[in-house]
A and B are shown apart, each in its own frame.
Chain A
Amino acid sequence: MSPYEQLGFREIWCVDFEFYGGPGDLPEPVCMVAHELVAGRKIRMWRDELMSRRIPPYATDDDCMFVSYSATAELGCHLVLGWPFPANVLDLYAEFRCLTNGCSPPSGSGLLGALIYFGLDSMGAGEKQSMRELILTGGPWSDEERDAILEYCEGDVRALERLLPKMVGKFSLPHALLRGRYTKAATRMENTGVPIDMEALEALRANWFEIQDRMIIEVDKGFGVYEGRTFKIDRWDDYVTRQGIRWPRLPSGKPNLQEATFKDMAIAYPLIRSMHQLRSTLSKLKRLELAVGADGRNRCPLKCSRSSTNRNQPSSNKFIFTAPSWLRSLIKPGPGKGVAYIDWSQQEFGIAAFLSGDENMMAAYLSGDPYLAFAIQAGAVPPGATRETHWREREKFKSCVLAVQYGMEAWSLAQRIGCTEYEARELLNLHRKTYPKFWKWSQAVLDHAELRRKLWTTYGWYIHYPATINPRSVMNFPMQANGAEMMRLAACFGTERGVRVCAPVHDAFLIEFELAEEEEAIRTMQGAMQEASACVLGGYKLTTDVKVVRYPDRYMDKRGKTMWDLVWGIVGNLKG
């Protein structure tokens, strides 16, 4: 039986599109090449032919399979052409990532890297800068250029033809098609994009460098650590010493100024939050490169399956939700519309509880307030305690839960909640004592990774551990990667049920709706998210929280409000 027959489809189409488009714009298809592997048919089509069709020139029914490498690009062309999605999508990029996740293939995870990995001829495949530049000009192209572009496109299709037989048998087809199903959802999200207040964005763009200078001056008034645009480490050292903050240090003795450290410390010490936002803005947004199309939508490739936990990994300076949080206030629904930010309540805690089967932890999640429930279970507050009567203890236990999730040491927890290291250690011990089954399961996860050198999620995303393992990251893998599975399924259910999902955001989605349909859209998405959690957790449903923003209001992340107000004050002064 040939590898293609083994797959059991009537037709298997390897497809590649070439396209162009500015940042944030929808793709403009230039050409398409498709090779059918069972009967050996070949199709080459130029832009005008593509635009004239209402359906693809290849079969997309349930008996056929569409094969691509990073399929959201091809499926994005389907959407702009008004073509239906194929019933079955096999994204070989996702499968290659799943196969090699954790192993760092020598030539990367691109199409070229996959070919080299399997010892295949890589000639004629992969990115050629000159051809990409030629395509991105948007034409017009001469006949020779047109032939060259088609040939370039067909090179990738031939590469897929070589790659597929090598990969058949190395992945589970049902799981691969489930991942393919997600690429359709991701394509819809990329296509929808996030509505942006263009007027505000233009005001920022027009004066971005000056705004940065003034942000430094304004924020630094309370710190005195900048000299021009230079952050002076010794001045920061003096500042934290004066404030009595025990700042984490490098082996050299100098303050550790890494983003993750700053982020942690900004949570522990709200007085340095504005400095964290400033530094984050200056490092991520040297230029304001947020990818916003001419239609006012923030769009960029979500880069599915890029991270080791199978989460999306969009660009940190092009995607609104990976930019500093104050910038999210640029999100603004258009007239007659609204957006809703829907997130799972304490998703990681819920996943840990239901996958480990720890009854205490499950009861804590189901109580609706796991942090207070933890404090009660640990005997730190009486059974009748409420958020109001014991808010201080609740905050402590909340920090402890989060510390466990982040793999934080007692020292860091002590910093965060302002207690002694001994108290923090006792608090962490309480978690172990209250949730022994979770810890036993967590240890079994670590043991499995150590002994078998791999782990997987409920829907078959694998990670391999060829070398030394980091216990904290291994023990956190089931929560992160199953959280990603939950996101993927919810994105499928939501988009397939007609919800306009603008973007996935770690454990949440931003959706958009006509105000008249607000209730139905939110209910449908919440249903999709609950159903997804039940799939991943063997029947247990996680609850969701909703934050709605209606025109003319703008989205506001509470962490970024002060900075947004500051920036907007600067913009006002510059205009005035």
Chain B
Amino acid sequence: MTDDTKNKDFSMTDETKKEEDGGNQPTQRKNKYSLDDLRLTQDFESLGGSQKILTTVPIRKPDNQWFFRVRGGDYRAAVFVLEDNDSRKENYIVLPGIAPDIEAEIMRKTLHLAINRRGDLFLLPLKMPGPDGRTDRWQESMGQAIEMAETAWVRVKGNMGMSCYDIFQANGNLPDPQWPDMSFEDIFRIAVRDKIIDDENHPLLRSLRGEI
């Protein structure tokens, strides 16, 4: 803020004094104060206000209209993922060794922390190569987009004919995103809060086994 006189108060009620008071006597007489002394803060952020609480971080691919950025470094995690095809392909994180009987259904994915231009965070899943080390063009192009998104705003759109994502880089000189001041562990915890399969009797596993 440009204001260096915050917490100065000459205002009228006790209640107000408690909020912004610098302990000055509101009825004190004339000419004691310069205009600079009389200046009250306009930094309403520091006086309270509110703070956005991060409650939801979806695990999803970016919408084909979003430009997004990916936070590099340690802001990613390799996990086992089970897709629930009945509920809009929701990604469930499966703890290792929980369900050896349905291993074929489970994929290894890396979740990358990403953000769109609206400032909404999401974990972008990228399928890892199979045991044979092979991957497909969808994953290759998405991996390429993720790499580019570490330094530039990009958008991806599925190209069915080519079986890959077309990647678009923003032309404008856009500012870098404002990442939240949180560790990846904290963000990850929010993202997977109700998406962890840590029990072999999880309804999704039972459903896949045909038990329910």
Shortest CB-to-CB span from B24 to chain A, Å, is 8
A418 at the interface (CB under 8 A from B): no
User: Inside 8 A of B174's CB, which chain A residues have their CB?
Assistant: 379, 433
Stretch at the interface among B35-43, B73-81, B94-102, B190-198: B35-43
Stretch at the interface among B2-10, B105-113, B135-143: B2-10
Write out, one digit per residue, whether chain B residues 37-65 have a CB within 8 A of any chain A CB (1) or not (0).
11110101101111000000000000000
Known: A62-B30, A459-B39. Is A444-B175 also a contact (CB below 8 A)?
A: no
User: Inside 8 A of A99's CB, which chain B residues have their CB?
Assistant: 12
User: Inside 8 A of B36's CB, which chain A residues have their CB?
Assistant: 535
Chain A minimum-CB-distance residue to B50: A447
B212 at the interface (CB under 8 A from A): no
Q: Are B31 and A62 in contact (CB under 8 A)?
A: yes
Contact of B30 among A174, A444, A452 (CB under 8 A): A174
Q: Are B11 and A178 in contact (CB under 8 A)?
A: no
Number of residues of chain A lying within 8 A (CB) of chain B: 59
User: Inside 8 A of B171's CB, which chain A residues have their CB?
Assistant: 379
Shortest CB-to-CB span from A281 to chain B, Å, is 39
Q: Are A459 and B40 in contact (CB under 8 A)?
A: yes
Q: Are B10 and A460 in contact (CB under 8 A)?
A: yes
Q: How far is the CA of A434 from the CA of B4 in the complex (A)?
A: 25
Chain A minimum-CB-distance residue to B10: A172
A537 at the interface (CB under 8 A from B): yes
User: Inside 8 A of A452's CB, which chain B residues have their CB?
Assistant: 19, 47-48
Known: A378-B172, A447-B49. Is A168-B42 also a contact (CB below 8 A)?
A: no
Contact of A456 among B11, B28, B170 (CB under 8 A): B11
Q: Are B30 and A535 in contact (CB under 8 A)?
A: no
Q: Are A172 and B44 in contact (CB under 8 A)?
A: no
Q: How far is the CA of A540 from the CA of B39 in the complex (A)?
A: 14
Known: A173-B26, A178-B38. Is A538-B4 also a contact (CB below 8 A)?
A: yes
Chain A minimum-CB-distance residue to B13: A170
Q: Are A173 and B28 in contact (CB under 8 A)?
A: yes
Known: A172-B12, A174-B38, A444-B45. Is A433-B27 also a contact (CB below 8 A)?
A: no
A445 at the interface (CB under 8 A from B): yes
User: Inside 8 A of A41's CB, which chain B residues have their CB?
Assistant: none
Q: How far is the CA of A454 from the CA of B118 in the complex (A)?
A: 29
B85 at the interface (CB under 8 A from A): no
Q: How far is the CA of A459 from the CA of B38 in the complex (A)?
A: 6
Known: A88-B30, A173-B30, A451-B50. Is A478-B42 also a contact (CB below 8 A)?
A: yes
B88 at the interface (CB under 8 A from A): no
User: Inside 8 A of A178's CB, which chain B residues have their CB?
Assistant: 35, 38
Chain B minimum-CB-distance residue to A171: B12
User: Inside 8 A of B71's CB, which chain A residues have their CB?
Assistant: none
Q: Are A6 and B27 in contact (CB under 8 A)?
A: yes
A354 at the interface (CB under 8 A from B): yes
B117 at the interface (CB under 8 A from A): yes
A458 at the interface (CB under 8 A from B): yes
Q: How far is the CA of A429 from the CA of B12 in the complex (A)?
A: 39
Q: CB within 8 Å of B: which of A531-551?
A: 535-540
Q: How far is the CA of A442 from the CA of B3 in the complex (A)?
A: 15
Q: Are A458 and B39 in contact (CB under 8 A)?
A: yes
Q: Are A175 and B48 in contact (CB under 8 A)?
A: no
User: Inside 8 A of B2's CB, which chain A residues have their CB?
Assistant: 354-355, 357, 537-540
User: Inside 8 A of A380's CB, which chain B residues have their CB?
Assistant: 172
Q: CB within 8 Å of B: which of A285-316?
A: none
Write out, one digit per residue, whether chain A residues 419-452 have a CB within 8 A of any chain B CB (1) or not (0).
0000000000100011010001101110110011
Contact of A460 among B11, B27, B47, B170 (CB under 8 A): B11
Shortest CB-to-CB span from B118 to chain A, Å, is 8
Interface size of B as a range: 35 or more
A169 at the interface (CB under 8 A from B): yes
Q: How far is the CA of A452 from the CA of B49 in the complex (A)?
A: 9
Q: Are B11 and A462 in contact (CB under 8 A)?
A: yes
Q: CB within 8 Å of B: which of A89-115?
A: 98-99
Q: How far is the CA of A436 from the CA of B117 in the complex (A)?
A: 11
Q: Are B29 and A7 in contact (CB under 8 A)?
A: yes
Q: Are A444 and B11 in contact (CB under 8 A)?
A: no
A327 at the interface (CB under 8 A from B): no
Contact of A445 among B13, B44, B117 (CB under 8 A): B44
Q: How far is the CA of A168 from the CA of B26 in the complex (A)?
A: 9
User: Inside 8 A of A170's CB, which chain B residues have their CB?
Assistant: 12-13
Main secondary structure of the interface of B (DSSP, over half): loop
User: Inside 8 A of B207's CB, which chain A residues have their CB?
Assistant: none
Q: CB within 8 Å of B: which of A511-542?
A: 535-540
A569 at the interface (CB under 8 A from B): no
Shortest CB-to-CB span from B166 to chain A, Å, is 21
Known: A434-B175, A444-B49. Is A535-B12 also a contact (CB below 8 A)?
A: no
Shortest CB-to-CB span from B63 to chain A, Å, is 15
Q: How far is the CA of A434 from the CA of B172 in the complex (A)?
A: 12
Chain B minimum-CB-distance residue to A442: B44
Q: Are B12 and A357 in contact (CB under 8 A)?
A: no
Q: Are A448 and B49 in contact (CB under 8 A)?
A: yes
Q: Are B12 and A8 in contact (CB under 8 A)?
A: no
Q: How far is the CA of A99 from the CA of B13 in the complex (A)?
A: 10
Q: How far is the CA of A443 from the CA of B36 in the complex (A)?
A: 26
Known: A379-B173, A538-B2. Is A7-B48 also a contact (CB below 8 A)?
A: no
Q: How far is the CA of A120 from the CA of B211 in the complex (A)?
A: 81
Write out, one digit per residue, whether chain A residues 448-471 have a CB within 8 A of any chain B CB (1) or not (0).
100110111111101000000000
Shortest CB-to-CB span from B5 to chain A, Å, is 7
Q: Are A168 and B27 in contact (CB under 8 A)?
A: yes
User: Inside 8 A of A354's CB, which chain B residues have their CB?
Assistant: 2
Shortest CB-to-CB span from A473 to chain B, Å, is 16
Chain A minimum-CB-distance residue to B11: A172
User: Inside 8 A of B19's CB, which chain A residues have their CB?
Assistant: 452
B178 at the interface (CB under 8 A from A): yes
Q: Which of B26, B29, B42 has the most A CB atoms < 10 Å from its CB?
A: B42
Shortest CB-to-CB span from A169 to chain B, Å, is 6
Known: A355-B2, A433-B174, A448-B48. Is A538-B26 also a contact (CB below 8 A)?
A: no
Known: A357-B2, A383-B173. Is A441-B44 also a contact (CB below 8 A)?
A: yes
Chain A minimum-CB-distance residue to B42: A355
Contact of B26 among A172, A434, A458 (CB under 8 A): A172
B32 at the interface (CB under 8 A from A): yes
Interface residues of B (CB under 8 A from A): 1-5, 9-13, 16, 19, 26-33, 35-40, 42, 44-45, 47-50, 117-119, 170-175, 178
Contacts A429-B118, A458-B40 supplied; 4 other A-B pairs, CB < 8 Å: A171-B12, A448-B49, A535-B39, A537-B2
23 A-B pairs (CB sep. < 8 Å): A6-B27, A8-B28, A8-B30, A9-B30, A65-B30, A88-B30, A168-B27, A170-B12, A172-B10, A173-B29, A174-B32, A175-B38, A377-B173, A433-B175, A436-B119, A444-B45, A448-B47, A448-B49, A452-B48, A458-B40, A462-B12, A489-B35, A535-B36
Closest 4 CB pairs of A and B: A379-B172, A8-B29, A172-B10, A444-B49
